[in-house]
Amino acid sequence: METLHEQNVSMPRIGDKAPEFEAITTQGEINFPVDYAGEWVILFSHPADFTPVCTSEFITFAHLEEKFKTANCNLVGLSIDGLYSHIAWLRTIKEKIKFNGMKNMEVKFPLIEDISMEIAKKYGMIQPGESKTQAVRAVFFIDPVGTIRAIIYYPLSLGRNFSEIYRALIAMQTSDKFSVATPADWNPGDDVIISPAGSCGVAEERMESHGELECEDWFFCTKKLAKEDILKGILKN
């Protein structure tokens, strides 16, 4: 049986450098991730043009593009379709399709053509148990130095949760900027988690301190971080 390597398939992981490629897109050629150095980028795949779940996702992403831009984050889409299919589909979306009250949505971010599946295979977007010919709904969060920071995969039938995609982006930016972690279901304005005590002395201090920290136990301490401070720290004006 052919190995993944022989099939030219890889599964990038969190912490890896984003695999490089050049591609033709609906916004011209791109050199990835070099063209996005210094900014975040979300590289996502969808199974096919002219399909309903994908259409609902593109309308939603187009609607949110400015919000992601304000968070210093670019969007780049990909499917195993050709450029002319992409162009025709995006024109149809703008001219004809309404979803959740959104209409006339223009997709301004690049959509990669990947008929050869070369890029989809590099990013582990083809998962043969789900489909051998269509990419699953993958979402790669890539940071300003080109490192993959988070990956979410969804099956073909499941449209993505865009609030979660945005929340994850802001949470990672908050962790970077303020050296904190974020607990379950965190949103800006909620308490953040500080790194666990690294010594018995610090553990003791934390349990005794009545300062800005609130400790459930020595290993579980939170503090306040105002939403305005987060937004001022990470969002562009």
Task: Return the active site residues.
Answer: 54
Interface positions, 175-214, toward ligand BEZ (CB under 6 A): none
Among 10, 12, 21, 48, indicate the residue that binds ligand BEZ (CB under 6 A). 48
CB-based burial of residue 1 (10 Å sphere; 0-12 exposed, 13-18 middle, 19+ buried)?
exposed
Binding residue for ligand BEZ (CB under 6 A) from 36, 40, 42, 47?
47
97 binds ligand BEZ (CB under 6 A): no
Alpha helices in 179-226 (DSSP H): 200-208
Stretch that binds ligand BEZ, among 27-35, 52-60, 64-72, 163-171 (CB under 6 A): 52-60
User: Is the C-alpha dihedral spanning 220, 226, 232, 237 positive or negative?
Assistant: positive
- The span of 32-40, 46-54, 96-104, 222-230 binding ligand BEZ (CB under 6 A) equals 46-54
CB atoms within 10 A of CB 122: 18
Please say which residue, 81 or 113, places its beta carbon nearer to ligand BEZ. 81
Dihedrals φ, ψ of 41, to 5°? Answer: -145, 135
Residues within window 117-146 making contact with ligand BEZ, judged by CB under 6 A: 134
Q: Minimal CA–CA distance to 65: which of 51, 53, 77? A: 77
- The span of 31-39, 44-52, 166-174, 212-220 binding ligand BEZ (CB under 6 A) equals 44-52
Measure the CA angle with vertex 10, ends 9 and 12; round to 5°. 155
**Sign, Cα dihedral of 38, 42, 48, 52:** negative
Q: Is 54 in the site for ligand BEZ (CB under 6 A)?
A: yes
Among 16, 34, 52, 233, indicate the residue that binds ligand BEZ (CB under 6 A).
52
User: From CA 136, how far away is CA 64, in angstroms rounded?
Assistant: 21
51 binds ligand BEZ per the rule CB under 6 A: yes
Instruction: Report, in Å, the least distance between residue 59 CB and ligand BEZ.
Output: 12
- Near ligand BEZ by CB under 6 A: residue from 3, 100, 116, 157: 157
190 vs 188: CA distance, rounded Å: 6
> Min. distance of Cβ 79 from ligand BEZ in angstroms?
10
Binding site for ligand BEZ (CB under 6 A): 47-48, 51-54, 134, 156-157
